[in-house]
Chain A
Amino acid sequence: MSRTSRMFLGFVVGFVAGAVLLTVMRALVGLSPLAAIPALSAGFTPFFNALAPLLSAGLLLGAVGLMLGLDPALGLARGLVGMAIGFVLGILLTHFVRLGLGLGWDAESAWVGGASLAPIGFLLGVGALSDWLKWTRGMHTPEQHGPPAGRPAWTRYFGFDQNHKVIGVQYTVTGILIMGVGGTLAMIFRTELAAVGRQFLSPDAFNTYISLHGIIMIASILLGIGGLANYLVPLMLGASDMAFPRLNGFAFWLTVPSAILIIMAIFFGGWDTGWTGYAPLSVRGPIGINFFMIGMFYFGFSSILGSLNLIVTTLKMRAPGMNLFRMPIFVWAILSTSLIQLTATQFIGLSFLMVVLERNLQMGFFNPAEGGNVILFQHLFWFYSHPAVYIFILPGLGIISELLPVFSRKPLFGYKWIALSSMAIALMGFLVWGHHMFAAGIEDALRVPFMYSTMLVAVPTGVKFFSWLGTVWRGKLFFPTPMLFVLAAIAVFLIGGLTGPPLATISTDLHLHDSYFVVGHFHATMFGGFVFPFFAALYFWFPKITGRMYNERLGQIHWALQTVGFYTMSLTMARAGLLGMRRRIVDYDPALGVEGMQLIVTIAGYIIFLGVLIGVYNLWISAKRGQVAAINPWGSRSPEWQIPSPIPEHNYAEPFEVVGDPYDYGLPGSVYVNMSPSRGAAASTPAH
Chain B
Amino acid sequence: MTAEAHTPPAGGISPAKRLQMNRLGLWLFLLSETFLFGGILAARFYLWGATRPHLDQILGLSVTAMLLVSSFFINRAEVAIKHDDRIEFLRSTGITILLGLLFLVGVVGLEWRTAPVNPATGGEFGIYGDVLFFMTGMHAFHVLTGVILLGVVAYLGYKGHFHARNFYGVEAAAIYWHFVDLVWVFFYPALYLMGVAVGPGH
**Which residues of A are interface residues toward B (Cβ below 8 A)?**
135-136, 138, 140-143, 239-241, 243-245, 247, 304, 308-309, 311-312, 315-317, 342-347, 349-350, 354, 357, 362-365, 370-373, 376, 379-380, 383, 650, 655
Contact = CB atoms under 8 A, between A and B. Distances in A.
Nearest to B34: A343
12 contacts: A135-B6, A136-B155, A143-B11, A315-B24, A343-B31, A344-B35, A363-B134, A365-B47, A365-B130, A371-B47, A371-B126, A371-B128
B28 A354 contact: no
Contacts of A376: 43, 46-47
Nearest 6 CB-CB pairings of A with B = A371-B127, A135-B3, A240-B11, A346-B36, A363-B130, A346-B35
Contacts of A136: 2-3, 152, 155-156
Q: Which of A142, A309, A371 has the most CB of B within 10 A?
A: A371
Q: Which of B29, B39, B126, B156 has the most CB of A within 10 A?
A: B39
B39 A342 contact: no
Contacts of B8: 142
A316 B17 contact: yes
A343 B24 contact: no
B190 to A, nearest CB: 16
A243 B25 contact: yes
B35 A343 contact: yes
A349 B43 CA distance: 14
Contact of B40 (A141, A350, A363, A383): A350
B148 to A, nearest CB: 9
Contacts of A346: 32-33, 35-36, 39
A311 B28 CA distance: 9
Q: Which of B7, B34, B156 has the most CB of A within 10 A?
A: B7
B58 interface: no
A380 B39 contact: yes
Interface in B40-92: 40, 42-43, 46-47
Given A136-B3, A316-B20, A373-B46, 10 more contacts: A141-B7, A143-B10, A244-B25, A311-B28, A312-B24, A364-B125, A370-B126, A376-B43, A380-B39, A650-B11
B185 interface: no
B12 interface: yes
Contacts of A345: 32
A659 B29 CA distance: 34
A239 B159 contact: no
Given A350-B36, A376-B46, A138 B11 contact: no
Contacts of B125: 362, 364, 370
A309 B12 CA distance: 18
B195 to A, nearest CB: 14
Contacts of A380: 39, 42-43
Interface in B1-19: 2-4, 6-8, 10-13, 17
B2 to A, nearest CB: 6
A308 B3 CA distance: 19
B73 to A, nearest CB: 22
Contacts of B32: 304, 308, 342-343, 345-346
B171 to A, nearest CB: 15
Contacts of B152: 136
Nearest to A315: B24
A239 B42 CA distance: 40
Contacts of A362: 125
A241 B10 CA distance: 9
B112 interface: no
A670 B80 CA distance: 55
Contacts of B134: 354, 357, 363, 365
Contacts of A371: 47, 126-128
Given A136-B3, A650-B11, A308 B28 contact: yes
B6 A140 contact: yes
Of the four ranges (under 10, 10 to 19, 20 to 34, 35 or more), the interface on chain B belongs to: 35 or more
Nearest to B8: A142
B47 to A, nearest CB: 6
Given A346-B33, A364-B126, A383-B39, A239 B2 contact: no
B21 interface: yes
Contacts of B188: none
Q: Which of B4, B28, B29, B133 has the most CB of A within 10 A?
A: B28
Given A138-B159, A316-B21, A365-B127, A354 B43 contact: yes
A243 to B, nearest CB: 5
Contacts of B24: 311-312, 315-316
A273 B17 CA distance: 48
B11 A239 contact: yes
Contacts of B13: 317
B43 A342 contact: no
A142 B47 contact: no
Nearest to A367: B127
Contact of A363 (B28, B133, B155): B133
A321 to B, nearest CB: 16
Contacts of A650: 11
A347 B35 contact: yes
Contacts of A311: 24, 28
B142 interface: no
Contacts of A655: 12
Contacts of B127: 364-365, 370-372
B161 A138 contact: yes
A354 B128 CA distance: 15
A371 to B, nearest CB: 3
A100 to B, nearest CB: 14
Contact of A372 (B6, B25, B39, B130): B130
Contacts of A312: 21, 24-25, 28
A363 B131 CA distance: 9
Contacts of A142: 7-8, 10
Contacts of A141: 7
Nearest to B37: A346
Nearest to B137: A357
B40 to A, nearest CB: 7
Contact of B43 (A317, A344, A365): A365
B161 A308 contact: no
B29 A308 contact: yes
A371 B132 CA distance: 13
Interface in B106-147: 125-128, 130-131, 133-134
Contacts of B11: 143, 239-241, 650
Nearest to B11: A240
B84 to A, nearest CB: 18
Contacts of A240: 10-12
A512 to B, nearest CB: 28
B33 to A, nearest CB: 7
A608 B33 CA distance: 40
